[in-house]
Amino acid sequence: MVRRPTVGVLAVQGDVPEHLAALESVGARAVRVRRPTELDTVDALVLPGGESTTIDRLVRTFGLYDPIRARLRAGMPAYGSCAGMILLADRIVDGRPDQQTLGGLDVTVRRNAFGRQVDSYEEDLTIAGTEGRIRAVFIRAPWVEDVGPGVEVLARTGHGPGAGRIVAVREGPVLATSFHPELTGDHRVHRLFIEIVREGS
């Protein structure tokens, strides 16, 4: 077991510092990943929130697309929040026509699903694998429209514009949430991810 795993945060765009801080606070060594050589040093990767079309484009510009896909295929643990969930999804609804994903998670996500006019909302959710209720912050968030047979649904919304929608999933070592736990100072979702990283090592 790796006691202090090295976890990369994809650092081409989005809320990178918040994820680095959350990961450090739950016992990981957190590093920025902008180059393939940096990807080689990590045990796991976080894909942050931001703008998935921009991150998709920059991942190709930085030569990270094929290396990240190869690591995901090889079983590297990964966690995507919001735009990161979109990047990990095998299928997107309402993406830009040329938008592609890295894939690895057998789900269909709907981009900007809560409605473009509803910029953000918050709700306390029960998330399988964590104790108690956790404040979920949704910002122009996707939701999961459907999941493949190997995907575990960890949380659904209880109210709001997308009541009953799937907003947290896990498929083996890959975790994704529609919301942003890195923004609340409550690091239980990051702790869950580090447990997943340690399980696999």
Asked whether position 86 contacts ligand GLN by CB under 6 A, the answer is yes
Task: Considering the complex, state which of residue 140 and residue 188 has its C-beta at the smaller distance from ligand GLN.
Answer: 140
In terms of phi and psi (left: phi > 0; alpha: psi -120 to 50; beta: otherwise), the region of 30 is beta
| 182 a catalytic residue | yes
Binding mask 137-176 for ligand GLN (x = CB under 6 A): --xx------------------------------------
Query: Rounded to an integer, what distance in angstroms lies between the CA atom of residue 170 and that of residue 150?
Result: 9
Choices 25-33, 79-87, 160-168, 193-201; region in contact with ligand GLN by CB under 6 A: 79-87
| Total residues interacting with ligand GLN, rule: CB under 6 A | 11
State yes or no: residue 196 binds ligand GLN (CB under 6 A): no
7 binds ligand GLN (CB under 6 A): no
Q: Tokens for 169, please give them.
A: 């999933």
| Catalytic entry in 19, 180, 187, 190 | 180
Q: Is residue 82 a contact point for ligand GLN (CB under 6 A)?
A: yes
> 58: left (phi > 0), else alpha (psi -120 to 50), else beta?
alpha
CB-based contacts of 145-152 (< 8 A; 24+ apart in sequence) = 145/93, 145/107, 145/108, 145/109, 145/110, 145/113, 146/107, 146/108, 147/106, 147/107, 148/90, 148/106, 148/107, 149/106, 150/106, 151/105, 151/106, 151/107, 152/128
Catalytic-residue membership of 152 = no
Please confirm, yes or no, whether 159 is among the known catalytic residues: no
85 — phi, psi (to 5°)? -65, -40
Binding mask 92-111 for ligand GLN (x = CB under 6 A): -------------------x
Footprint (CB under 6 A) of ligand GLN, residues 19-78 = 49-52
Q: Find the catalytic residue in 82, 171, 187, 190.
A: 82
Active site residues: 82, 180, 182
Residue ranges that bind ligand GLN, judged by CB under 6 A:
49-52, 82-83, 86, 111-112, 139-140
